């Protein structure tokens, strides 16, 4: 019998293994694209509302977190399409699975837990992903996530990163809707707007805007 993958809250004791796994994922899969100087701070963000690990037979083989924020242009795209203020968005972030455990169902389970947790907090789950991360994009779309935007982010003179913005397959029953529109209907309309919207293309130039990590001067991986 195949031992099932379990997703549970990340504990202190998991952090070293998660950081080590992030390094292996960077080397094998190119996520994060640019290796942060402090990989520990990348994995364990002060901005996280919650974080989880996927485990099989006591071994951590995947990680995800729910963040309050992402970079300002990402939030701007998502907020505009979903018609929500940044405070109503929950950013699924730092999602990675050990290369040895790919296609084990861990990625899907982690994504599901984080997006359900966002919805339970009344937040619209969103994420951003580098356009070259084909496995992740395939998984998001298989799991019902909808692409709602695309950005090109330029760093300095000659570095840029193309990203897609996605929203989760979650319909919230509350919404910042016009006066007189029942919240549930407003939420449905917001989702339907997001589904039918022409995907906006943004070109964000100049230095990377200040992020929640307070590392505005570094080139940060801006994906999930
Ligand atoms: C993306 C990632 C987390 C997926 O994790 P995983 O545990 O391998 O994914 P799952 O086994 O849960 O796959 C769920 C579904 O996603 C799709 N999928 C996953 N990997 C895929 C791939 N390489 N190619 C095509 N589809 C893929 C499939 O539909 C899969 O279902 P199936 O196996 O029944 O066909 C993993 O590949 C990874 O860590 N990649 C590097 C890090 C990364 O890109 N993170 C995203 C940051 S935004």
Range of the domain at 189: 6-204
For 177-200, write each residue's pLDDT tens digit: 343 333 444 444 444 443 333 344
pLDDT at residue 185, rounded to an integer: 43
Nearest one of 132, 118, 135 to 171, comparing CA atoms = 118
Low-confidence stretches of the chain (pLDDT beneath 50): 174-224
The answer to pTM > 0.85 is no
Composition of the chain by helix, strand, coil, percent to 5? 35, 25, 40
Does 219 map to a domain? no
Distance between Cα 102 and ligand 1 center (Å): 7
Structural domains counted in the chain = 1
Nearest one of 221, 191, 33 to 126, comparing CA atoms = 191
- Give the CATH number for residue 93: 3.40.630.30
Distance between Cα 32 and ligand 1 center (Å): 15
Does 46 map to a domain? yes
Does 221 map to a domain? no
Does 216 map to a domain? no
Distance between Cα 103 and ligand 1 center (Å): 6
Does 170 map to a domain? yes
pLDDT at residue 1, rounded to an integer: 74
pLDDT at residue 113, rounded to an integer: 97
pLDDT at residue 51, rounded to an integer: 98
């Amino acid at each position: 019998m195949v031992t099932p993958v379990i997703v549970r809250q990340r504990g202190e004791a998991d952090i070293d293994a998660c950081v080590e796994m992030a390094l292996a994922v960077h080397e094998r899969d190119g996520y994060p694209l640019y290796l942060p100087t402090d990989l520990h701070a990348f994995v364990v963000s002060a901005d996280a509302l919650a974080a989880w690990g996927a485990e099989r037979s006591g071994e951590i083989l995947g990680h995800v977190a729910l963040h309050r924020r992402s970079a300002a242009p990402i939030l701007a795209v998502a907020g505009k399409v979903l018609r929500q203020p940044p405070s109503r968005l929950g950013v699924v972030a730092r999602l990675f699975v050990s290369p040895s455990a790919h296609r084990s169902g861990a990625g899907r389970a982690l994504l599901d837990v984080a997006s359900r947790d966002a919805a339970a907090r009344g937040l619209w789950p969103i994420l951003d992903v580098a356009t070259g991360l084909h496995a992740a994009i395939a998984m998001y779309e298989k799991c019902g996530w909808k692409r709602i935007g695309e950005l090109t982010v330029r760093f300095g003179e000659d570095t840029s990163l193309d990203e897609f913005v996605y929203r989760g397959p979650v319909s919230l029953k509350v919404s910042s809707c016009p006066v007189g529109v029942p919240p549930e209907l407003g939420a449905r309309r917001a989702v339907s707007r997001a589904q039918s919207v022409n995907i906006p293309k943004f070109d964000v130039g100049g230095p990377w805007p200040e992020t929640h990590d307070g590392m505005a001067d570094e080139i940060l991986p801006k994906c999930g």
